[in-house]
Amino acid sequence: SGDFNQKIDYVFKVVLIGDSAVGKSQLLARFARNEFSLESKATIGVEFQTKTLIIDQKTVKAQIWDTAGQERYRAVTSAYYRGAVGAMLVYDMSKRQSFDHMARWLEELRGHADKNIVIMLIGNKCDLGTLRAVPTEDAQEFAERENLYFMETSALEATNVESAFLTVLTEIYRILS
């Protein structure tokens, strides 16, 4: 994904949101660098990472923003959402509460973001199958009702991570190009 003097056709800002410890930072590490850590520390301040990819023969730079220790309701500032064309709404499928909070994260996102923003609901940690606390159908139903894409992922096992980001980025491209 080298950024060596490359002509960039598009820059897409995508934000990660959801409760603390659901795996947002590890999803980003997996997507941007193919890395994973079981001891990821809470990041301080807002950070983003970029990954450059080709969509439909165009060079797209994805700028993925990660909330950092601001995961309480209404603690994420409007600057975080500004200019975002995509969002990953992440819960931990072994933590029911993190899914129950999706509605208010979505409300906050919709209150700040562009109305055409592409949103993916992500049930992360699907490797923890035996600890599942959120049935797939509950999430699917919520996603359908709210018009969101939906996938279950594992940052640990690299399941559907690339696919989730690519789906969002390709849909953004389709809307904006």
Q: Report the alpha-carbon distance of residue 49 to residue 51 in Å, rounded.
A: 7
44 binds ligand GDP (CB under 6 A): no
160 binds ligand GDP (CB under 6 A): no
Give me the least distance between CB of 94 and Mg ion, in Å please: 17
Residues 6+ apart with CB under 8 A from 153: 27, 122, 123, 124, 126, 159, 160, 161, 164
119-148: contacts with ligand GDP (CB under 6 A): 124-125, 127-128
Name the residue with tokens 């950070």. 47
Q: Which residues pair with 91 in a beta bridge?
A: 123
95 binds ligand GDP (CB under 6 A): no
Toward Mg ion, which CB reaches closer, 69 or 135? Answer: 69
Residues 6+ apart with CB under 8 A from 170: 55
* Residue 124 binds which of Mg ion, ligand GDP, none (CB < 5-8 A, kind-dependent): ligand GDP
23 binds ligand GDP (CB under 6 A): yes
Task: Rule CB under 6 A: choose which of 12, 13, 24, 102 binds ligand GDP.
Answer: 24
Kind and range of the H or E run holding 124: strand 118-124
Q: By CB under 6 A, which span of 47-55, 73-81, 132-140, 151-159 interacts with ligand GDP?
A: 151-159
Q: Report the alpha-carbon distance of residue 54 to residue 5 in Å, rounded.
A: 15
Q: Structure tokens of 41?
A: 């520390």
25 binds Mg ion (CB under 5 A): yes
Give me the least distance between CB of 133 and Mg ion, in Å please: 20
Toward Mg ion, which CB reaches closer, 55 or 122? Answer: 122
Do the beta carbons of residue 128 and residue 93 sit within 8 Å? Answer: yes
Residues that bind ligand GDP (CB under 6 A): 20-26, 37-38, 40, 124-125, 127-128, 154-156
